């Protein structure tokens, strides 16, 4: 029987690559996005573009009710806020968590009852290696991804008795138009007279360059397929050059030594 996938944030980047890859491998993919017209160029019978706003519980309920069966949920939608805490705009702060954290919880809440009744299911949360390490200017994005890691770890306990697997993927920097389309910057932080101008001038260009020259999104799609097919796949998957560099280093070093290494690497 054909397995059914619901993926959020499917119009671009990792979401789009994963939707297309799974469709080509005979999964039926409901490609959820606020902008389904961006998928109009994909003519594949296994991809069903669907309008999905993960900030709207009623819309999520309507979408999930319209799908008779969901075997795999991929929580992929997200973006990054670049701002210091001092310059924080409260709406920007809320919006960051509303998408990256509350959106994950809303969609899980809607899908879990279906999977529980089926006594089967897989939930894959797209996190980030920045869900394990901190970087300046990305405090809000970092903390939202730390929260996704907490959600993943806790849900594994909650859903184990119902034969529902829960995993997270922690990508490094990937070339997915993220720096061009999915970074929101606080103008006060980037003002040339900001007290944080030295950090901004050192770090921001480096991060953007690393994202734009990062790994190919198809790598994420392939590891998602591996998670689906392997019942014994580890709870967390690290993928991409930066993730493979920093996460093992974080485990090996003291917090102080790790921070020193990060400062040296990014000239902070």
| SS3 letters across 139-154 | HHHHHHHHHHHHHHHH
Among this protein's residues, is 145 annotated catalytic? yes
What CATH number has the domain bearing residue 81? 3.40.50.720
The model carries a pTM of: 0.94
Structural domain boundaries, residue 249: 4-266
Among this protein's residues, is 154 annotated catalytic? no
Number of domains in the chain: 1
Q: Name residue 28's beta-bridge partners.
A: 4
pLDDT digits 0-9 by tens, 171-204: 988 766 654 566 788 999 999 999 999 999 888 8
pLDDT digits 0-9 by tens, 117-126: 999 999 999 9
Active-site option among 11, 127, 128, 168: 127
CA 184/CA 173 separation, integer angstroms: 16
Q: Whose CA is closest to 249, among 236, 230, 232, 262? A: 262
Residues 236-263 have a mean pLDDT of 92
Beta strands in 8-82 (DSSP E): 28-33, 47-51, 72-75, 80-82
pLDDT digits 0-9 by tens, 45-95: 999 999 999 999 999 999 999 998 999 999 999 999 999 999 999 999 999
Low-confidence winner among 101-115, 134-148, 183-197 (lowest mean pLDDT): 183-197
Active-site option among 30, 145, 146, 196: 145
pLDDT at 242: 83
């Amino acid at each position: 029987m054909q397995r059914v996938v619901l993926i959020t944030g499917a119009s671009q980047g990792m979401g789009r690559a994963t939707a297309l890859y799974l469709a080509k491998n005979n999964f039926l993919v409901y490609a959820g996005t606020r902008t389904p017209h961006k998928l109009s160029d994909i003519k594949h019978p296994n991809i069903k573009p669907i309008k999905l706003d993960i900030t709207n519980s009623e819309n999520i309920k309507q979408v999930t009710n319209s799908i008779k069966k969901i075997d795999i949920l991929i929580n992929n939608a997200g973006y990054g806020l670049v701002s210091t805490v001092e310059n924080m705009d409260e709406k920007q702060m809320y919006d960051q968590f509303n998408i990256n954290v509350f959106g994950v919880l809303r969609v899980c809440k809607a899908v879990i009852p279906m999977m529980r009744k089926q006594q089967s299911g897989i939930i894959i949360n797209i996190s980030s290696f920045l869900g394990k390490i901190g970087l300046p200017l990305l405090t809000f994005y970092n903390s939202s991804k730390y929260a996704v890691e907490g959600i993943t770890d806790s849900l594994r306990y909650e859903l184990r008795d119902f034969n529902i697997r829960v995993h997270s993927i922690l990508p490094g920097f990937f070339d997915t138009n993220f720096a061009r389309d999915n970074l929101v910057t606080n103008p006060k932080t980037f003002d040339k007279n900001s007290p944080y101008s030295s950090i901004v001038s050192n770090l921001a260009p480096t991060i953007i360059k690393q994202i734009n020259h990062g790994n190919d999104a198809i790598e994420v799609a392939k590891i998602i397929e591996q998670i689906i097919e392997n019942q014994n796949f580890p709870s967390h998957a690290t993928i991409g050059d930066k993730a493979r560099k920093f996460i093992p280093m974080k485990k090996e070093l003291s917090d102080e030594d790790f921070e020193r290494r990060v400062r040296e690497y990014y000239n902070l």
